[in-house]
Structure 1
Amino acid sequence: MNQYLPDAYTVRAAIALAVRAPSVHNTQPWEWRFSGRTVELRADARRHLRHTDPDGRDLLVSCGCVLHHFTVAAAALGWAAQIERLPEPGLLARITLVPHDTRDGDIALAAAIPRRRSDRRPFAERPLLVRDEVFLAKSATDHGALLRLLDDAPQLSALTGASLAARELHRADTDYGIELAAWSGRRYAPDGVPAQNAVHATEAPRVRDFADAQLADTAEPDGAALTVLATRGDEPADRLRAGEAASAVLLTATRLNLASCLVTEPLELTSTRALVRDCVLDGKLEPQLVVRVGYLPEGAAPLPATPRRPIGEVVRPFGHGYGVGLPIPAQLRRH
């Protein structure tokens, strides 16, 4: 065996850990291929939510999350990932694996992957430590994004208003409702939002109206810190980078024993996204994600892990056509 080339078992092990990454409605919209030291990541066009995510933002952000998860997993297994982003139409990333001396921090961050959960329950009313705020913000800036903590009433009011408006617009959209119902309230499925992990929608911007939610909400106020993850631009590369930064923030939060959850609904519609950009970020940055971070109430039961597709469904050998013959989404054809 060539010690300078990863074996197939190692690459598949890294991908198996990477696909624990969060994705919009747990669609897991990614496809992996590898040969030797080269690994490629593509979006799976079959899993693009056309009514929830008409411009493909959530699709790219989801793929950015799994890309960062992969680099974390590979580092823990002794391989550094050198990434070429959007090198050709339809290809999100070409990754070259080179030998790497694994450090304690690599292992600690990879160990956070199976522990992380998208927790939509209310968090305890306990402020974040300043030290933790610094760590979370640095994890975003290290990956080309900014994490803005919302700490004043006008910002929080604007985000709440955008979330409520997005919810009402979505409730009036029949196609969106059909799509949401198809991807949530799942039981015994390898993808989608499981009923046992969804909370009855009561408070914006915390909860989306997922179908058949089994977690009862409480009357307790939500003490989560609300943050907006933003980029300076809004091109496909920015959205991919935003996903990588979001992954870093979530894994850092998990290492710090913080609960977390990504929120995208207020950013999926042009009007409500503009409200967040102009009233929360002063029109200077592009909002990509809302991230809730905080502490679970004492005695809160751990959530079960959400299911994942079998690794054989997401890994394909080189030479297979993109998306099994499906067209490349428009937002990827331009790059």
Structure 2
Amino acid sequence: MDHTTPDAYTVRAAVALAVRAPSVHNSQPWQWHFSGRTVELRADPRRRLRHADPDGRDLLVSCGCALHHFTVAAAAMGWAAQVHRLPDPARPDLLARIDLVPHDTRDADIALAAAIPRRRSDRRRYAAGPLPVRDEIFLQKSASDRDAVLRIVTEAPRRSALTGAATEADGLHRADPDYEIELAAWSGRHYAPDGVPARNAVRAPVSPHELRVREFAGARLPDTAGPDGAALTVLATAGDTALDRLHAGEAASAVLLTATRLGLASCVYTEPFELTSTRALVRDCVLDGRLEPQLVIRVGHLPPGAPPLPATPRRPISEVLRPVAHPYGAGLPIPDQLRGR
């Protein structure tokens, strides 16, 4: 047995956890390919949201989340991921090439991987009360370790600017019929393996003082009572290149899994950054023009007695994971082990 190369079942298990990552509209815009110890993450442009995500920002952030989920899962299984991001300028869809090498699994690896199946995108209102300082430090460090900054928005003028940007983005999107058609196509699903199920979608709050999360069609999830006490954070990067957006997704994954480990509810929100005007508003009025905002993460505790959310569906592994075609030479068959049989 070759102990320096992961078997196909290990790769499949790691990818199965990786695809539990959140993605815009649960579109899951990724493809995975592997050969031996090398795994590739590729963007799936067919799943880019043409009207919500015209420049592909959300697609890259979503794939970055999945990339970090994969490295966490692999580490828990005894494989360190050596990640080469955007390795081929001639192939912009190739987002990462990952070499897996043997790794001594630590308790922290297992604990973080165990958070993956427990994490939910919970759009309900959270209970009132600030986050403990200790939790804030853990969340901010999880972002800074991955080349991003997590800014916790507490000052009233900055919170007002953030909620105002969200309200403006919602209004601009609602005035766009193509956006509305696209949103409805990904909303209120019951049996599909992608999109936002009706059971996981909640109606957006109407208070002008609360962050207006995206309102999906057919929402059936009852909201919790009372005002929203969520801590609002903006995850930002120094620049706004494709690499910055990929890093933002990795950092978002780290923040979400850390929040889950701490017993916190969380939800990613990207609508204000899908439009140039509202993204600039957050950049200038929340981040003082010094950083590029990539996404909002709401964090907090659910009120006592709030029922747990079901997991959102995911596409079958057979649809998203493929062996690299003919890695041993043109025209040669692919071994059964690499086919995952």
* 1:84-121, Cα deviation, whole Å (9 max, x unpaired): 00011221000000000000000000000000000000
**Could you tell me which residue of structure 1 aligns to residue 301 of structure 2?**
295
Deviation of residue 193 (structure 1)?
0.2
Q: Within 5 A, what are the aligned runs for 1:1-335?
A: 1-88=1-88, 89=91, 90-203=93-206, 204-319=210-325
Consecutive unaligned residues of structure 2, counting only runs of 5 or more, are 327-341
Q: Which amino acid aligns with 2:258?
A: T
Secondary structure of 1:101's aligned partner: coil
**Could you tell me which residue of structure 1 aligns to residue 335 of structure 2?**
none
- Rounded Cα–Cα distance in structure 2 between residues aligned with 1:205 and 1:73: 32
What TM-score comes out, normalization by structure 1 length?
0.94
Q: Which amino acid aligns with 1:167?
A: D
* 1:243-273, Cα deviation, whole Å (9 max, x unpaired): 0000000000000000000010111100000
Q: Which amino acid aligns with 1:147?
A: L
Secondary structure of 1:60's aligned partner: helix
CA contact (8 A) 2:224 2:306 kept: no
Deviation of residue 282 (structure 1)?
0.2
Q: Which amino acid aligns with 2:106?
A: R
CA contact (8 A) 1:205 1:263 kept: no
CA contact (8 A) 2:200 2:309 kept: yes
What TM-score comes out, normalization by structure 2 length?
0.93
**Could you tell me which residue of structure 2 aligns to residue 323 of structure 1?**
none
Deviation of residue 219 (structure 1)?
4.9
**Could you tell me which residue of structure 1 aligns to residue 333 of structure 2?**
none
- Rounded Cα–Cα distance in structure 2 between residues aligned with 1:123 and 1:302: 13
Secondary structure of 1:228's aligned partner: strand
Q: Would you say how many aligned residue pairs link Structure 1 and Structure 2?
A: 320
Deviation of residue 16 (structure 1)?
0.5
* 1:274-316, Cα deviation, whole Å (9 max, x unpaired): 0000000000000001000000000110000000000000011
Deviation of residue 206 (structure 1)?
4.2
- Identity over aligned residues, as a percent? 77
CA-based RMSD = 0.9
Identify if the C-alpha distance between structure 1 residues 317 and 256 changes in structure 2 by more than 3 Å, giving closer, same or farther. Answer: same
CA contact (8 A) 1:206 1:263 kept: no
Structure 1 runs of 4+ aligned residues shifted over 6 Å read none
CA contact (8 A) 2:273 2:279 kept: yes
- Rounded Cα–Cα distance in structure 2 between residues aligned with 1:282 and 1:115: 35
Deviation of residue 217 (structure 1)?
2.9
- Rounded Cα–Cα distance in structure 1 between residues aligned with 2:173 and 2:222: 22
Consecutive unaligned residues of structure 1, counting only runs of 5 or more, are 321-335
CA contact (8 A) 2:126 2:224 kept: no
